[in-house]
Amino acid sequence: MSTPFPFTAVVGQDDLRLALLLNAVSPAVGGVLVRGEKGTAKSTAVRALSALLPEVDVVAGCRFSCDPAKPDAACPDGPHEPGPGTTRPSRMVELPVGASEDRLVGALDIERALSEGVKAFEPGLLADAHRGILYVDEVNLLHDHLVDLLLDAAAMGASYVEREGVSVRHASKFLLVGTMNPEEGELRPQLLDRFGLTVEVAASREPDQRVEVVRRRLAYDDDPAGFAARWADEEAAIRQRIIAARELLPQVRLGDGALRQIAATCAAFEVDGMRADIVMARTATALAAWAGRTDVLAEDVRQAALLALPHRRRRNPFDAPGLDEDKLDETLEEFGGSSEDEDPDPDPGPDGPGGGGQPPSSDPEGPQGGETGARPEAGEGGEPQPSGAGAGEQSAVRAAEPFRTKVLSVPGLGEGAAGRRSRARTEHGRTTGARRPRGTLTKLHLAATVQAAAPHQRARGRSGPGLVVRRDDLRQATREGREGNLVLFVVDASGSMAARQRMSAVKGAVLSLLLDAYQRRDKVGLVTFRGSAAEVALPPTSSVDAAAARLESLPTGGRTPLAAGLLRAHEVLRVERLRDPARRALVVVVTDGRATDGGAARSASGRGGGRAAGGTEQVALAGRAARLFAAEGVASVVVDCESGPVRLGLAGQLAGELGGTAVTLDELRADSIAGLVRDVQGTSRRAA
């Protein structure tokens, strides 16, 4: 939109606005990650921030935004002599989720290089974002190779491009702001740590605030320019406050007492590395400057901890974000000395940016957790399901400790989304061949291009040195890397699995596989079966932690409708193929292989004979359902949960019907001796 929504017109979201303003005061804080559900003004607030930032001085004509007072000595458009320059507004550059590597870092114009012999480098988004804001919406969906490039640029403050005979280095210092919906998957820890602050946002549950949000949005949509004009005074006031805070920032004193509180807090929450301490110190200093003070107080340290630590504390990837505020207060009090805490909830300035007399937020949600921190759906499966459960139903059993699993992969060569599980043709990876380009040429295979052009040189009138290359000669490099898969868990939660110790081990194994899926950038789904039916406990999603939450609350008991579970999983895969045909599936069936059904057993005559007849019928139905997967070539693994001295081997039979393999719980471990012996024996048999 040509007229952005005014920053001061955003209703509520005090923590979000404060975190953005602190970065405007002190860009050294390191950016903001905004986590929250859709429709919570994440993107609106970020886009509005750029209009508040002061203008920047740049060297006239420099595509890399060099500072005229101190030009970059290695600027590709340089060298520049220090001197007066021109001013332009601060720039916010958006990085689309589907952007290519060339768009991010810049690229050589291949066709000009081959046809004209000119090395023409076109800067990318990292150059455009220098001395501005780099905004990544849905940052958790960004491809891993782009994340790696962002990490390098953020760490070094520069971008290095080495490709196709071009070697370019240029400065790239930017304020990194990302937004994400946690339901769509989490960020890699390495990128998570690069964001200075994090904020959890959620829609207000206060009716008055919701009414005000709708009223302002409708007014803005009707007349963007007129709406912005009504907020011009508030925007100017907060812009002046940012400038004043920037001028005051060098005078702010961070005393030894505040530093000791910062160090003690980071140690108490067991955060890794020293970046958290540094970010907290910079944030506390910016808070003091924003409040118009030259001394950092305990209240600044506390607010800095709430913004800088939730995403850095050492925790299981599936734990809810947030800090234990009681523990935080105890730590600050223990190491506080003579800190003043007369006002336990000081106002660092959100009322300034809110403006307009909007109602104060009474919603406890924020970076410290609140309702957001308790988001896992405790009410959706946290209680035993009475319907169809049958005798022997148990409440949810806690999972055993997770472990590192052996790698399960899909055979063949896919073309799905980039990940780390199965072999695939990708845009990044090792070069395996060449082909004619389909559309825009992105990766030139130089040797194949020369080989294609060489036989035609005489016909093209070339008799001396050199090579005449035409468009038809260009060859695209084909590369092989890894893809992420859809890992669909089909978990037996019936009475035959319901011994508490045994089910705890089963849940621990599935949790271990979920951790593996998290690290390999997979989508996951969860189908469970028990009683008389199967249900989709979690439709396919990138939010692996949501699957872990559903697994933790999974009750057990009742009969074993194995066929129903397999048929429901088959239907889930059918629907998912329509949505994402390139992503291949790996079905992981966690069961002991037994199959019973209350209806079938009751319909047979006699108690003992009826149970046997019903079981036999169910095994046959499960076999027919399994052969559907084999017929479609779906990769599958059966995790055999059978235990005890007498084993029927039904899980192995099921794996044969599925056309997959079976592993025991022990063999699933990456460091399992049993699994290693089995792999070695299998290799020996194949060699023979």
Take residue 650 and report the two structure tokens written for it.
């039904």
Residues 6+ apart with CB under 8 A from 229: none
Residue 360 has pLDDT above 80, yes or no: no
Give the C-alpha separation, 82 to 508, whole Å.
Answer: 62
Q: Which of 198-212, 221-235, 610-624, 658-672 has the lowest mean pLDDT?
A: 610-624
Between 623 and 324, name the one with better pLDDT.
623
Q: How confident is the model at residue 608 (pLDDT cuts 50, 70, 90)?
A: very low
When pLDDT is averaged across residues 336-349 and rounded to a whole number, the result is 48
- Residue ending a domain, choose from 195, 213, 233: 195
What is the reported pLDDT for 538? 87
Q: 7 in a domain, yes or no? A: no
Between 395 and 129, name the one with better pLDDT.
129
Element holding 511 (H helix, E strand): helix 500-519
What is the reported pLDDT for 248? 95
When pLDDT is averaged across residues 84-91 and rounded to a whole number, the result is 87
What is the reported pLDDT for 499? 65
Residues 515 and 470 in one domain: no
Residue 72 has pLDDT above 90, yes or no: no
Residue-wise pLDDT tens digits, 302-313: 999 999 998 887
Residue 632 has pLDDT above 90, yes or no: yes
Q: Which of 532-546, 572-586, 606-620 has the lowest mean pLDDT?
A: 606-620
Q: 78 in a domain, yes or no? A: yes
Residues 363 and 509 in one domain: no
Q: 81 in a domain, yes or no? A: yes
Give residue 292's domain range: 245-371
* 21 neighbors 349 (Cβ within 8 angstroms): yes
Q: 305 in a domain, yes or no? A: yes
Q: 501 in a domain, yes or no? A: yes
Q: What is the CATH number of the domain that holds 73?
A: 3.40.50.300
Task: Enter the DSSP assignment of 228.
Answer: H
Q: Which of 215-229, 308-322, 442-456 has the lowest mean pLDDT?
A: 308-322
Nearest one of 429, 518, 439 to 145, comparing CA atoms: 429
Residues 540 and 612 in one domain: yes
What is the reported pLDDT for 321? 65
What is the reported pLDDT for 498? 64
Residues 436 and 522 in one domain: no
What is the reported pLDDT for 118? 60
Q: What is the CATH number of the domain that holds 573?
A: 3.40.50.410
Q: How confident is the model at residue 683 (pLDDT cuts 50, 70, 90)?
A: very low
Q: Which of 44-53, 80-89, 127-136, 351-360 has the lowest mean pLDDT?
A: 351-360
Residues 361 and 274 in one domain: yes
**Cα angle value 125/130/132 (rounded, 5°):** 100
Give the C-alpha separation, 370 to 368, whole Å.
Answer: 6
Task: Enter the DSSP assignment of 625.
Answer: H
Residues 181 and 250 in one domain: no
Between 537 and 671, name the one with better pLDDT.
537
When pLDDT is averaged across residues 438-460 and rounded to a whole number, the result is 82
Q: 205 in a domain, yes or no? A: no
Residue 397 has pLDDT above 80, yes or no: no
* 224 neighbors 3 (Cβ within 8 angstroms): yes
Q: 329 in a domain, yes or no? A: yes
Give the C-alpha separation, 359 to 356, whole Å.
Answer: 9
Take residue 134 and report the two structure tokens written for it.
């780099």
Residue-wise pLDDT tens digits, 637-677: 999 988 777 678 889 999 999 999 999 988 998 876 554 44
Residues 129 and 251 in one domain: no
Q: How confident is the model at residue 318 (pLDDT cuts 50, 70, 90)?
A: low
Residue 345 has pLDDT above 50, yes or no: no
- Identity at 362, one-letter amino acid code: S
Q: Which of 77-91, 151-165, 320-334, 499-513 has the lowest mean pLDDT?
A: 151-165
Number of domains in the chain: 4
Task: Write phi, then psi, for 175 (nearest 5 degrees).
Answer: -90, 115
Q: 16 in a domain, yes or no? A: no
Phi-psi region of 450 (alpha: psi -120 to 50; beta: other; left: phi over 0): alpha
Percent of all residues in the chain with a pLDDT value above 70, rounded to a whole number? 81
- Residue ending a domain, choose from 344, 371, 398: 371
What is the reported pLDDT for 597? 66
Residues 643 and 656 in one domain: yes
Q: How confident is the model at residue 602 (pLDDT cuts 50, 70, 90)?
A: very low
Residues 70 and 127 in one domain: yes
Residue 260 has pLDDT above 90, yes or no: yes
Look over the chain and give the mean of its residue pLDDT values, rounded to a whole number.
79
Of the listed 163, 217, 275, 293, which one is catalytic?
275
Q: How confident is the model at residue 612 (pLDDT cuts 50, 70, 90)?
A: very low
Q: CA dist 253 to 297, 339, 344, 568, Å?
A: 10, 14, 22, 63
Take residue 552 and report the two structure tokens written for it.
């933790």
Residues 83 and 121 in one domain: yes
Buried b (16+ CB within 10 A) or exposed e, 196-205: bbbbbbbbbe
Residue 92 has pLDDT above 70, yes or no: yes
Most confidently modeled range among 450-459, 523-532, 597-606: 523-532
Task: Write phi, then psi, for 3 (nearest 5 degrees).
Answer: -115, 105
When pLDDT is averaged across residues 575-588 and rounded to a whole number, the result is 92
- Identify whether 79 is preceded by a cis peptide bond (ω within 30 of 0): yes
What is the reported pLDDT for 299? 93
Between 115 and 413, name the one with better pLDDT.
413
Residues 6+ apart with CB under 8 A from 338: 257
Residues 363 and 499 in one domain: no
Q: Which of 139-143, 410-414, 527-531 has the lowest mean pLDDT?
A: 139-143
When pLDDT is averaged across residues 580-589 and rounded to a whole number, the result is 92
Residue 1 has pLDDT above 70, yes or no: no
Q: What is the CATH number of the domain that holds 292?
A: 1.10.8.80
Residues 612 and 548 in one domain: yes
* 596 neighbors 612 (Cβ within 8 angstroms): no
- Is pTM beyond 0.95? Reply is no
Percent of all residues in the chain with a pLDDT value above 90, rounded to a whole number? 24
Task: Write phi, then psi, for 172 (nearest 5 degrees).
Answer: -155, 80
574 included as an active-site residue: no
- Residue ending a domain, choose from 305, 340, 371: 371
What is the reported pLDDT for 372? 36
Q: How confident is the model at residue 618 (pLDDT cuts 50, 70, 90)?
A: confident
What is the reported pLDDT for 337? 58
Round the CA-based radius of gyration of the chain to a whole number and report it.
30
Residue 363 has pLDDT above 80, yes or no: no
What is the reported pLDDT for 350? 42
Residues 6+ apart with CB under 8 A from 442: 100, 102, 427, 476
When pLDDT is averaged across residues 352-366 and rounded to a whole number, the result is 39
Q: Which residue has the tokens 């709406």?
A: 227
Between 589 and 648, name the one with better pLDDT.
589
